[in-house]
Amino acid sequence: MNKHTAINVLFAVSLLCLFFLHLSHGMAWYLYVVLVLLYTGISAAGSYFIGLSYFLYSYTRAAGIQRHIAITFDDGPNEKTGVILDILKENKAPATFFCIGQNIPGNEAILKRMAEEGHLIGNHSYRHRHSFPLQQPQIIAAEIAQCNAAIEGVTGQTPRLFRPPFGVTDPMVARGIAMSGMYSIGWSMRSYDTVVKDPQKLLSKVSRAGAGDIILFHEAGIHTAAILSQFIQNVRAKGLEIVPLDRLLDIDAYDK
Ligand SMILES: [Zn+2]
């Protein structure tokens, strides 16, 4: 039973109890409103915070037994991916790129380079629309398959790592991912590199990473390329090793 199902049961039981208390003791009607608001709040938090694993299990970190971390980049491939790849190569650091399927046509060479330089490629949906979590599970599964086909068409490998657009999950997304047989991947540290305007702030935030962390970056982040090299040096200076996501989580990144 996932957390969502457990809360549904709890909610139904509470509603029933309230109903009987209402009948027997004349409990105030506003308690129904409080209960519904509570349920709505829990569901909204479960949708927004992928780390809660509310609707489905999402990998967001590794048990920190070893001093490993993984770095991930979302929303590529795009015109900034090449610079990120240069920095990762200079620093011999592996990463995972969660790619948007519709960005691949025209950027095949970048995708090939990711694979050749030892990075993992994950699926980040085909279109990355805000309406993604509102689709029927079959449509979600089809879009995941469409992105996988685009990646496989270039690299020959079919991803199993899926990061939901915006990290938003709900019962439809959970069902679509289950139909696809993908692993749902979140993060434990969000860099907010698309909004943080001060590079020093960004650097000091992400440099606080600790064992087991999965860090979320974007290739198109405002200062991501500018701080990446120093970030890698900072975490290595703390004795942390940057490893590919499949090694951090001990799962397969691709279909065999
Ligand atoms: Zn995204």
Model confidence over 173-199: pLDDT tens digits?
A: 999 999 999 999 999 999 999 999 999
How far, in Å, is the centroid of ligand 1 from the Cα of 204?
23
pLDDT at 98 over 90: yes
pLDDT at 81 over 90: yes
Instruction: Answer yes or no: 218 catalytic.
Output: yes
**Could you give the CA distance from residue 196 to residue 199 in angstroms, rounded to a whole number?**
7
How far, in Å, is the centroid of ligand 1 from the Cα of 167?
8
pLDDT of residue 26: 85
Tens of pLDDT, residues 227-238: 999 999 999 999
Tell me which residues have their CB within 5 A of the ion that is ligand 1.
Answer: 74-75
Least reliable range by pLDDT among 14-18, 116-120, 163-167, 216-220? 14-18
**Homologous superfamily of 58-249:** Glycoside hydrolase/deacetylase (3.20.20.370)
Mean pLDDT taken over the chain: 96
pLDDT at 64 over 80: no
pTM value? 0.93
Average pLDDT rounded to a whole number, residues 67-77: 97
Average pLDDT rounded to a whole number, residues 122-137: 97
